Structure formats: C-alpha cells, structure tokens
C-alpha cells in the first residue's frame, strides 16, 4: 500500500512542485495538499484564517489518514505541522532564518513558534549551509537536520554556448520590492549612457510590474528591456540558454533554485553579496557579488564580466560541474525520499 503525505504549503510555487514531484517519482508517495486560501494582499483575513487552520488540518488528517505531514516555512506552515497531531513531521526552512522582516512587530512571536516547530519536527530540511548556521545558533538538534538542496532537473536545464557580442542578461525573480529590480534597471541605464549594447529580460510577475515598466521608460531603456510576465517553468530553460548573464539582487536569501537553474544553463551569475549567495558564489571566481543597492558597482561589474570572456567562460564550466555534483534533482530527491521512508520505518 502506498504511503501518503500531507503537504502544507503553497502548492503552486515552483519550489513546492519540485519537492512533491520528487517524492512521487523517487519515493512512490501519494501527495495530498492543504494551503491557506486567502491572498497575502488581505493580511487581516489571512491571519484570521491561519488561526482557524489547525482545526481544518486535523479534519483533513482524520479523513485522509496521511503517514506523515511535511511543511514549508518554519514560521507558518511548519508551525501548523507541529501542532497537527501527526506522528511523523518534516519541515523545511525556506529563508536564511524565516524570521523576516527582522524589524517586524511579530518577530518575537515568529521566533517562539519557530522554536516549537523545530522541537516537534522529526526531520528538518536546510536546503543549504546558510540555513543550518541559523538552526545551530537556535539550539536545534542537528541530528534531525538534513542539509541538502532539492536540486534541479538537469535534463531540462541544459548547458548552452552563447557567443553574443553584447550583454544578454536575465532576471528570474518575483517582481517584489525585496528583489531590487529597480537597482538592476538603474545599473543598465548607466550602461545605456555609456553606449554599451545590451538586452535585459525580466521574467515573472509581482506587485512591482507596472512600477518597473514605468521606470524602464523613465530611464529611456524600455526598448532594451523585455518583461515576459508569468511564464510556465517549462519555458524558462530556453530563456536562460539564450542569455549569457544572470542577475539576482535580493536583500535576503535562503537557497535559490533560480541561481542553480542559471548556473546549469551556462549563465554567468552576478548576485547580491549576502550569506545565501556567498555559499555558492566567490567574487570574480565563479561569478560576482554586489553590495545591495550599489548601482554603480553593479554597472561596473557587468562591464568587467563582459570585457573578460575568458574568466566568464571558466566560471560557467565550473558552475555547471558544481550543479551536476551538488544540485542534481535525480540524486538529491532520491536521498530525500529514502530518508522519509527510513523515518517512517523507525517511528512505526
């Protein structure tokens, strides 16, 4: 009889889809899902739904009888998993700490419920080393922690050679304030002023879409910037393969599957200098690290990267090898699925 998993989290997210797909494929699990129905845009209503969630989740558990519950984000769905009454629980920390924003009035509450979720979970996922650092500092029993990214499908995200004589950059992060697309556009405006040719593709959707379109127009670079809007993940590899530089400027980061996807497709990474990126990128060795909101530095490093093709080519070869060895979905998800079966066997 197939083992059944209840997934608590936003099932439409690419990250969640990868996680669930891998468990079906390599663990032969049946997956059922539960998630909050209220959009983040309706804050009060969503918080109210969150407080009513435990009863709804317990009802789902009684009806579906899952063998285990898994959940993303230690401060939201992870806590709901911890109080679900399930005998087997795995939770995943999504961000560097999940305690974000740090200036939030809810910070002490988030810290409290995260500690409880850590205590109750039988397995805790750190998708990268930067997350494990926070867990250790929080007093987590590190024997429960699995430090391993889910990985990406290397049969889809394949390497390609781009011999373009201009910068063909791509950004694949959600159009939200924390990803600093405005700084990226301003850096490209500097390139435009210097008469350096480029194209910039901005993939995805978010609250800043219209603002960013207006900004591109104001900076007089709208003819060189393509906003694709939301696209199916199956179309992403082709866009990455057509690009030669990947840019990501978040102010906080856990483990970025987007970065791994770009590295797999031979895009040279230029990313913000934060711990989540420093785990994978060394400045001017296999990419570049840029101070947050330092527009001049971003423009300068974009120019440097394009004027040093030899260094760039060495980096993309090294990055593809790194992803094959450390972020291969076929290998990593098999390990994760086996770990779940071991956990269930040991707790039954």
132 phi and psi, to 5 degrees? -65, -35
Tens of pLDDT along 132-158? 999 999 999 999 999 999 999 999 999
| Structure tokens, 295 | 């527009």
DSSP character at residue 302: H
DSSP letters spanning 119-132 = HH-SEEEESSHHHH
pLDDT attached to residue 43: 86
Residue 62: is it exposed, middle or buried by C-beta count within 10 angstroms (0-12/13-18/19+)?
A: exposed
- What percent of the chain is helix, strand and coil (3-state, nearest 5)? 50, 15, 35
pLDDT of 300 over the 90 cut: yes
pLDDT of 348 over the 80 cut: no
Q: Which CATH number fits domain 167-327: 2.60.40.10, 3.40.50.2300, 3.40.50.2000, 3.40.50.300?
A: 3.40.50.2000
Specify whether the CB–CB gap between 222 and 216 falls below 8 A: yes
Tens of pLDDT along 228-250? 999 988 899 999 999 999 999 99
Q: In whole angstroms, what is the distance from residue 157 CA to residue 232 CA?
A: 14
DSSP character at residue 77: I
Specify whether the CB–CB gap between 183 and 211 falls below 8 A: no
Summary mean pLDDT of the chain? 95
347 band by pLDDT with thresholds 50, 70 and 90 = confident
Specify whether the CB–CB gap between 130 and 109 falls below 8 A: no
104 band by pLDDT with thresholds 50, 70 and 90 = confident
pLDDT attached to residue 292: 97
Q: In whole angstroms, what is the distance from residue 43 CA to residue 40 CA?
A: 6
In 3D space, the residue among 152, 329, 325, 314 whose CA is nearest the CA of residue 236 turns out to be 152
In 3D space, the residue among 293, 247, 301, 233 whose CA is nearest the CA of residue 14 turns out to be 233
More confident site: 117 or 47? 117
The rounded percent of the chain whose pLDDT value lies above 70 is 100
26 band by pLDDT with thresholds 50, 70 and 90 = very high
pLDDT attached to residue 102: 80
Specify whether the CB–CB gap between 196 and 308 falls below 8 A: no
Across the range 307-335, mean pLDDT stands at 96
Alpha carbon distances (Å) from 29 to 6, 22, 69: 10, 9, 12
| Structure tokens, 6 | 């209840």
DSSP character at residue 75: I
pLDDT attached to residue 100: 83
Across the range 84-104, mean pLDDT stands at 92
Alpha carbon distances (Å) from 36 to 18, 28, 43, 56: 20, 26, 12, 10
Tens of pLDDT along 261-298? 999 999 999 999 999 999 999 999 999 999 999 999 99
User: Which CATH code for domain 4-151+328-346?
Assistant: 3.40.50.2000
Q: In whole angstroms, what is the distance from residue 185 CA to residue 188 CA?
A: 5
pLDDT attached to residue 307: 93
Q: How many CB atoms lie within 10 A of CB 41?
A: 8
In 3D space, the residue among 258, 264, 150, 154 whose CA is nearest the CA of residue 204 turns out to be 258
Across the range 78-96, mean pLDDT stands at 96
Q: In whole angstroms, what is the distance from residue 300 CA to residue 221 CA?
A: 18
Across the range 214-236, mean pLDDT stands at 95
Residue 174: is it exposed, middle or buried by C-beta count within 10 angstroms (0-12/13-18/19+)?
A: middle
Tens of pLDDT along 45-80? 999 999 999 999 999 999 999 999 999 999 999 999
Intervals of CATH 3.40.50.2000 along the chain: 4-151+328-346, 167-327
pLDDT attached to residue 103: 81
39 band by pLDDT with thresholds 50, 70 and 90 = confident
pLDDT attached to residue 254: 86
123 phi and psi, to 5 degrees? -140, 135
In 3D space, the residue among 159, 28, 155, 9 whose CA is nearest the CA of residue 72 turns out to be 9
pLDDT attached to residue 234: 87
Tens of pLDDT along 7-25? 999 999 889 999 999 999 9
pLDDT attached to residue 48: 94
273 bridge partner residues: none
Give the up-direction half-sphere exposure of residue 284: CA atoms within 13 A in the CB hemisphere.
7
């Amino acid at each position: 009889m197939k083992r059944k998993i209840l997934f608590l989290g936003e099932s439409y997210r690419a990250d969640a889809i990868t996680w669930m797909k891998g468990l079906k494929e390599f663990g032969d699990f049946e997956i059922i899902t539960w998630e909050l129905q209220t959009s983040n845009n309706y804050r009060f209503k969503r918080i109210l739904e969150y407080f009513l969630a435990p009863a709804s989740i317990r009802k789902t558990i009684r009806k579906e009888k899952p063998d285990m519950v898994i959940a993303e984000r230690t401060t939201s769905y992870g806590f709901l998993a911890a109080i679900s009454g399930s005998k087997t629980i795995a939770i995943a920390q999504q961000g560097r700490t999940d305690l974000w924003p740090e200036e939030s009035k809810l910070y002490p509450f988030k810290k409290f419920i995260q500690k409880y979720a850590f205590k109750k979970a039988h397995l805790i996922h750190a998708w990268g080393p930067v997350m494990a650092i926070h867990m250790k500092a929080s007093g987590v029993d590190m024997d429960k922690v699995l430090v391993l990214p889910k990985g990406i499908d290397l049969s889809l995200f394949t390497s390609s050679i781009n011999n373009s004589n201009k910068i063909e950059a791509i950004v694949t992060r959600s159009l939200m304030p924390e990803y600093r697309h405005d700084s990226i556009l301003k850096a490209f405006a500097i390139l435009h002023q210097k008469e350096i040719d480029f194209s910039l593709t901005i993939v995805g959707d978010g609250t800043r879409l219209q603002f960013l379109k207006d900004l591109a127009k104001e900076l007089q670079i709208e003819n060189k910037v393509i906003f694709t809007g939301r696209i199916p993940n199956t179309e992403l590899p082709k866009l990455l393969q057509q690009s030669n530089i990947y840019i990501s400027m978040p102010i906080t980061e856990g483990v970025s599957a987007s970065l791994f996807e770009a590295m797999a497709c031979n895009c040279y990474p230029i990313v913000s200098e934060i711990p989540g990126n420093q785990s994978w990128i060394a400045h001017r060795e296999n990419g570049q690290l840029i101070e947050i909101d330092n527009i001049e530095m971003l423009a300068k490093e974009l120019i440097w990267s394009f004027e040093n093709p030899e260094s760039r080519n060495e980096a993309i070869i090294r990055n593809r090898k790194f992803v094959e060895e450390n972020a291969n979905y076929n290998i990593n998800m098999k390990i994760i699925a086996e770990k779940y079966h071991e956990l269930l066997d040991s707790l039954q």
